[in-house]
Amino acid sequence: MIHILQSLINNIVVLPFFVALVTALVGIMWRLPGSGRRLFFSVSASIQVILACFIIFLTHKVKILFLPVGAWKAPFGISITIDIFGSLLIGITTLLSLFAILYLFATLKKSKENPLLLPLIQFMIAGIILSFSTGDFFNLFVSFEIFLIASYGLLTLKSDESSIKNAFPYLGINVIGGTLFVLGASFVYGMYGTLNFADISAQTSHLAQDPKLILIASYLVLVFGIKAGFFPLFYWLPRSYSCLPAPVAALFAGLLTKVGIYAIIRTLTTIFPLGLVSIYSAIGYLSIFTMVVAIIISLSRSNIREILCYNLISHIGFLMAAIAIFSPISLTGGIFYMMHHMVVIASLFLISGLVIQITKTDVLKDSGNVWKHHGFVGVLFLVQALSLAGLPPFSGFWGKFLILREAIRFDQVSVAAAIILASILTLLSMIRIWFHVFLKKNDGLKMGSVPKGFKRSTTVVSILVLFSLIMGIFSNPFISASNKAMSLLLNKSRYENKVLSYEQTLKMETDSHSSHSENDAHSKDVTKKDTNHHMESNHDTHKEVKHSSKHFKLESISKKEVSNGSSVH
Amino acid sequence: MTNTKSHILESVSRLIFLFIIIFSIYLFLKGHNQPGGGFIAGIAASIPLFLLAMSLGVSTVKRVLKVDSLTLAATGLIFAYGTAFVPTVLGYPFLFQKMIHTHVPILGELHIGTPVLFDLGVFMVVVGVSTKIIFSFLDVVNSKEKV
């Protein structure tokens, strides 16, 4: 029993991902929606939250968790790597999925539940978790595809004409994005002979001025920018998000665009050398346009969810600004802002769902009266809206403050001006919703009886809002966690050492595996002409002993001092 | 499509059914170190099913198959998950594979191992999902033609 537990802890990095996959599978087998199935899904989502918390705890102790999948050594096999940054995002992801599922249970009748809804959500969560924990480009592509395919399914679940029409641009842009991504991965493989983040990082450490490297890095940033919703490429987002049911829209808004931002941060810090100034300044210009243009469009929209969608895009611009400034403090602010924004935008979408439950309409003009009849929902909205606009003491303030301060410190006047302008306009767009939906008296609107499940869904949302409040008022642990995540991102050699010179302590098979892996190493050797792989194969016959026939050390790595950071394994 | 029955299509698809299935088994076993494996074999195995569904009708093929497409895919996922997860319980890393290299008297060298089970899972998932997609399209086409 203890052996099994120990072994599970050794494999902890894949567990949240795997639990989500298994849940999805059980959901597919367990066809009929019902109470038992719902209980199972909520228990599983809670287990994922607990696992994610455990991973956050572990990463704070040992910094980087690493698992060579199938015991293949790092540059050759798939490496699952979670550092503090990834673990924090996994934590928020699982938390949001739990709340979205609970909200869904409160509002959706069992008879109207599509049997594929919950499995698809779990597949999407699994894909997102995998993309936060993967350590090589191809696996990142695979995880993008997992959550994208699930999201196509979620968008067209109603399979009526309007949802298919709205899903089509989303599908088109993401298929193109996926193709470009896989092409980019093949370019990377062609140039460096590897897809592993740590290996690319080790090989390109002295190439910061290389035009080819700048080209490939900016190409990848562009590809991830399509996912994140950069300035010219965001038109698809509001159309598709605003036709979803509230909890699913909350998950989409909270998580999907952030995966793009995560991938950009990973590309510019962990993978490629620091100091690609031209890319940073390009992102800076794009961020100005993203922030300002999107928020101006949001002022012209006339329904709640589209306003929220454009606010979401505008705030992607803030994250881009944090990347563009690229100082340690701005990155800390960016990471904190990312966590804050995932929670806040998701809860705003859930609150918009509550409002729509009450007023039965999404359009500002037809809405009204909510403050008078349901003041509590108004309070929830107010807290999150002010947090989104970035007023102290709410959580949005701290991230924005750090980013803005760094923008001023580095004389990025236009970025700073855009941040201030976009924040004011965010406040304005929130005030528009506040006035039209909450304060305005609308006698034509019939306030029917409170819909079933309204209380439960309000409770779920208020817990999420409480979490967001805690992030704002007791922001210290969150900011220090982001700071740790940032310093680990910028300390590239630590990541490289952890992945490339990982000492295998899990027990391994000697006879059956060694000849096989030698073949593999030889074939890789042919492809990678620029680096000489030294293969040390000493054939141990012991089974349980730490076995080194699979240790092909890169020459360049073995020269470096091996980090003495203790490992979990 | 069912009312305009084509005898040529029907007899040809009955004839080549066996050959394509045998070819897909060949592809399946050839996989892992050489081109082949569960995914390609699954695609190859579902092609004769599409042909039969087009010539004999979807309902006939569904009746002959006896297994629902989604159930098949889900069973395949169980196989794939199992081969991924069982090693972690036994103390190995996730997705650990064990290969056996033996010499079988008549057939020659034999490499076989747990990846075969994983590939079997992939095979079932591919057959299940692709038949599900094509059968739903054929159902839509047939129902429109009846109207």
Per-position DSSP letters for A529-542, written without gaps between them: -SSPEEE-------
Inform me whether the pLDDT recorded for A267 exceeds 90: yes
Note whether A507 contacts B92, CB cutoff 8 Å: yes
Which of the 8 DSSP states describes residue A232? G
Determine contact: B21 vs chain A, CB below 8 A. Answer: no
For A509, the closest chain B residue by CA position comes to: B98
> Taken in order A99, A105, A107, A108, is the CA torsion positive or negative?
positive
Instruction: Output the CA angle A394-A400-A403, nearest 5 degrees.
Output: 150
Q: Is A497 a member of any domain?
A: no
What is the rounded CA–CA span in Å between residue A546 and residue B100? 21
Asked whether the beta carbons of residue A70 and residue B77 sit closer than 8 angstroms, the reply is: no
- Residues paired with B99 in a beta bridge: B113
> Is the residue at A527 inside a domain?
yes
With beta carbons under 8 A apart, name residues in chain B contacting A6.
Answer: 91
Does residue B78 fall inside a structural domain?
yes
- Within 10 angstroms of residue A522's Cβ, the number of other Cβ atoms is 11
In a domain, B112, yes or no: yes
Mean of pLDDT values over B30-58: 89
Please check whether residue B71 lies inside any domain of the structure.
yes
Question: From the candidates B72, B89, B92, B122, which should be mutated to test the interface with A, based on the most A CB atoms within 10 A?
Answer: B92
pLDDT at B130 over 60: yes
At residue A261, the pLDDT reads: 95
> Taking CB atoms and an 8 Å cutoff, what residues of chain B touch A51?
none
The predicted pLDDT at position A448 comes to 67
CA nearest neighbour of A59 among A426, A560, A482: A482
In a domain? residue B94: yes
The answer on pLDDT for A98 being more than 50 is yes
Please spell the DSSP secondary structure of A174-215, one letter per residue.
Answer: HHHHHHHHHHHHHHHHHHHS--BHHHHHHHHTT-TT-HHHHH
Q: Determine the Cα–Cα distance for residues A332 and A336; give it in Å rounded to an integer.
A: 6
**CA–CA distances in Å: residue A451 to residues A247, A268, A349, A361, A456:** 16, 48, 18, 14, 11
**Rg, C-alpha atoms of chain B:** 18
Tell me the residue range of the domain where B141 lies. Answer: 7-146
Pick the residue from chain A with its C-alpha nearest to B89.
A4
Contact call for B78 and A10, based on CB within 8 A? no
Listed in sequence order, the residues at least 6 apart from A372 whose beta carbon sits closer than 8 Å to its beta carbon are A441
Which of A18, A28, A506 lies at the smallest CB-CB distance from B92? A506
In a domain, B27, yes or no: yes
* Three-state DSSP string of chain B: CCCCCCHHHHHHHHHHHHHHHHHHHHHHHHCCCCCCCHHHHHHHHHHHHHHHHHHHCHHHHHHHHCCCHHHHHHHHHHHHHHHHHHHHHCCCCCCCCCEEEEEECCCEEEEEEHHHHHHHHHHHHHHHHHHHHHHHHHHHHHHHHHC
- Does B2 reside within a domain? no
The answer to whether residue A114 is domain-embedded is no
How many domains are contained in chain A? 1
**What confidence tens digit (pLDDT) does each residue in A379-393 have?**
999 999 999 999 988
CA–CA–CA angle A336, A329, A263 (5° rounding) = 55
Residue B140 located in a structural domain: yes
Reported as half-sphere exposure (CB side, CA atoms, 13 A), residue A52 has a value of 31
Q: Is residue A347 part of a domain?
A: no
Domain membership of residue A539 (yes or no) is yes
Question: Could you tell me how many helices (H) and strands (E) chain A has, helices first?
Answer: 24, 4
pLDDT for residue B5 is more than 90: no
pLDDT in tens, A221-232: 999 998 888 888
Range of the domain at A523: 507-559
CA-to-CA separations, A161 to A152, A178, A303, A426, in angstroms, rounded: 15, 25, 21, 33
Q: Is A108 helix (H, G, I), strand (E, B) or coil?
A: coil
Closest Cβ–Cβ partner in B70, B85, B88 for A28: B70
Report the domain count for chain B: 1
Please write the tens of the pLDDT for every residue from B49-108. Answer: 999 998 888 888 888 888 889 889 999 999 999 999 998 888 888 888 888 888 888 777
pLDDT of the residue at A19:
95
Answer whether residue A211 is part of any domain: no
pLDDT number for residue A537: 35
Average pLDDT over chain A reads 85
- Answer yes or no: are the C-beta atoms of A147 and A93 closer than 8 Å: no
Inside any domain, residue A517: yes
Candidate from A96-105, A547-556, B92-101 with smallest mean pLDDT: A547-556
User: How far apart (Å, rounded) are the C-alpha atoms in residues B15 and B43?
Assistant: 19
A204 close to A273: Cβ distance less than 8 angstroms: yes
Does residue A279 sit within a domain?
Answer: no
- ipTM, two decimals, is 0.88
Q: Is A278 on the interface with B (CB under 8 A)?
A: no
